Structure 1
Amino acid sequence: MRRFGKLAGFFVVFIAVIAAFCNVSFAASVGQVSANPDQGWRRYDDTDSRIKYSGSWLTENVSSNYNSTSHYTSTSDSNYTFKFVGTKFRIIGVINQDHPTNNSISIDGNIYTMSEYATSLQRKIILYEETNLSFGTHSVTVTSKSTGKFTQIDAIDIDETGYLVDINTPDAPTNLNAISGNKKVDLSWGSVEGAASYNVKRALTAGGPYTTIATTSAITYIDSNVNNDVKYYYVISAVVNGTESPNSNEASATPTAPEVIGNPGILEITMTNGQIKEYDLSGAELLAFLNWYDGKSDGTGKAYYTITKKNNIKPFLSRKEYIAFDKISSFEVKEYTE
């Protein structure tokens, strides 16, 4: 009975491992079938109005296409264009013997080559992918380079945090940076060509919802309507010819009050030989000495502390005194107000 129990337990574990293995999702790559978008992607059909076709295009209605449709052309220099906000994209299409090997694909003005050729007909194939774009607005144009060969698009995949936009939509501002200060946040971002103004938006949670707090023609803004120790999230949009762009990358900052340094004072040090030394120090200098002494007491830091004297300097460039830690018997700080 005990042996049967062990075998039964092993069998249950074995089945669980097999089930888990079967549930693993393996991402497709260029040249492979992608019947549905992989995890982390969102799919847009070829009929989406934000994909613009130029030249001579026809629609193919076949059930084995994604959503049963695709667009195709056999005319050279016909093209399709789409614009999106995100970091990656895929083009899903059809490959066959009568499809070209030398179509051009322009990504933000950079030209590459895309092949749709194969020895046999296959649908819902990843024709091209780019997964290493910086977050922002990107423009993609695919142009047919062969007459009599079929260029065909079935769908477009965008990262699930991105989205398609109309091709006439202005580019989103990039490189938004937020630097915190005392009851303020300094914002700066990259300019957008043709922008008449920028909307500054803020939220108290990552990802929004955002509220527009200002409109400016500059590429910097100081948000002084904030509280210290509260984290704020910002995005910027551009307005070009009356049309607002998508939002920029998100940046966050937490305004913080400056560290309280304290008053100036007289540092009176009693040395181990009984000698008493006095130094008139600023609040910052007193804090630096106390931090050094505490650190050295804990076994870290230099064996001595340097004090720059402020009086009787001439004819020297400077006068510095080095106080050895092991020669200090005690010290007293006498603060005063200036």
Structure 2
Amino acid sequence: MATVGQQLTAPETGWKRYDTTDSGFNFSGDWQTVKNSDLPSGNYYDGSMLFTSSEGKVAFKFFGTKLRIITDANTDHSNKVQITIDGIVSEFSTAVAGMYQRLSFEKTDLELSIHEIEITNLTDTVFGFDAIDIDEEGYLVEPVGHCLLRITMTDSSEREYELTSDQISQFIDWCNRTVGTGNAYYAFDKTYNVGEFKDRKEYLMFEQIISFEVMELTK
């Protein structure tokens, strides 16, 4: 079993990995992408990593009981990275001998529920955020989004969903087709609303939709 400070290039049994390119991560501040192809010896998970040299922050939510943070490391990297889990603050360092895909932080005794995480670089030196590992049966919670989609059905009932702009575009693309072509239904993921479900979706039939309205939320 891997311990903090060791290289971990793949999730161990009982864990699964999410790359920083996943839409569940919310980055703020100055972050840049570095790829394996940019460095002769680059060995980032899934070919790339995001890094900041200022007080960049990444926030996300996940459902599960355990968390591992996979980072880049070097002696000139940040020695003060703050991680907040459900309001409880800890710190870890990445200022150690050079290593790709380093297990830099681990928490394994969380309750089985949705947890809110914030990671902040507290220095003006490099912090490289490569991936996270969580429970094999857990999941990264997708952000609710900034738009409200209101759909009117043939029975005059209405459905509402908070979605990202990309999700709205996907729905419009699905609607914008000839009757009788494409999938007959559209699935909306509602897992983020109810943590006790591993998966929860609502399916709407194309032929039962009369109209829809898209409204941008103020917050």
- Superposition TM-score tier, normalisation by shorter sequence: 0.5 to 0.7
How has the CA–CA distance of structure 1 residues 61 and 113 changed in structure 2, closer, same or farther, with 3 Å as cutoff? same
Give the match for residue 246 of structure 1.
194
Asked if 1:45 corresponds to 2:19, the answer is yes
Q: Does the alignment pair 1:157 with 2:105?
A: no
- The normalised TM-score by structure 2 is 0.64
- Superposed displacement of residue 99, structure 1: 1.0
Which one-letter code corresponds to 1:102 in the other structure?
K
CA distance in 2 between counterparts of 1:90 and 1:52 reads 17
- Give 1:88's aligned residue: 66
Q: Residues 53 and 123 of structure 2 are in contact (CA less than 8 Å); yes or no, is this contact kept in structure 1?
A: yes
- Is contact 2:191-2:197 (8 Å) kept? no
Q: In the comparison of the two structures, how many residue pairs are matched?
A: 149
- Name the CA shift for 1:164/1:243 in 2 (closer, same or farther; >3 Å): closer
Within 2, Cα distance between the matches of 1:145 and 1:99? 11
Q: Equivalences for 1:10-49 in 2 at 5 Å?
A: 27-49=1-23
Q: Structure 2: which amino acid aligns with 1:33?
A: Q
Identify unmatched segments of 5+ residues in structure 2: 37-41, 146-189, 199-219
Once residues 119 and 80 of structure 2 are traced to their aligned partners in structure 1, the CA distance between those partners, rounded to angstroms, is 11
Q: Percent identical across equivalent pairs?
A: 36
Aligned: 1:65 with 2:41: no
Q: TM-score, normalised by structure 1?
A: 0.42
What's the CA shift for 1:243? Answer: 8.9
SS in 2 for 1:64: coil
Query: Secondary structure of the equivalent of 2:7?
Result: coil
Deviations along 1:217-249, whole A, 9 cap, x unmatched?
xxxxxxxxxxxxxxxxxxxxxxxxx99613327
Task: Judge conservation of contact 2:141–2:192 (CA < 8 Å) in 1.
Answer: no
What's 2:116 paired with?
139
Q: Higher Cα Rg: structure 1 or 2?
A: 1
1 CA distance for matches of 2:142 and 2:122? 25
Give the distance between the partners of 1:123 and 1:100, measured in 2 at CA: 15
After superposition, the C-alpha distances for 1:276-318 in whole angstroms (9 at most, x for unaligned) are xxxxxxxxxxxxxxxxxxxxxxxxxxxxxxxxxxxxxxxxxxx
d(CA) in 1 for partners of 2:116 and 2:44? 25
What's the counterpart of residue 103 of structure 2?
126
Partner Cα distance (1:51, 1:249) in 2: 21
1:56 matches 2:56: no
Q: Which amino acid aligns with 1:145?
A: L
Q: Is residue 100 from structure 1 mapped to residue 75 from structure 2 by the alignment?
A: no
Q: Which residue of 2 aligns with 1:112?
A: 90
Q: For 1:116, what is the secondary structure of its paired residue?
A: coil
- RMSD over aligned Cα atoms: 1.9
Task: Write out the 4+ residue segments of structure 1 that deviate beyond 4 Å after TM superposition.
Answer: none
* Unpaired stretches in structure 1, ≥5 consecutive residues: 1-26, 170-241, 251-338
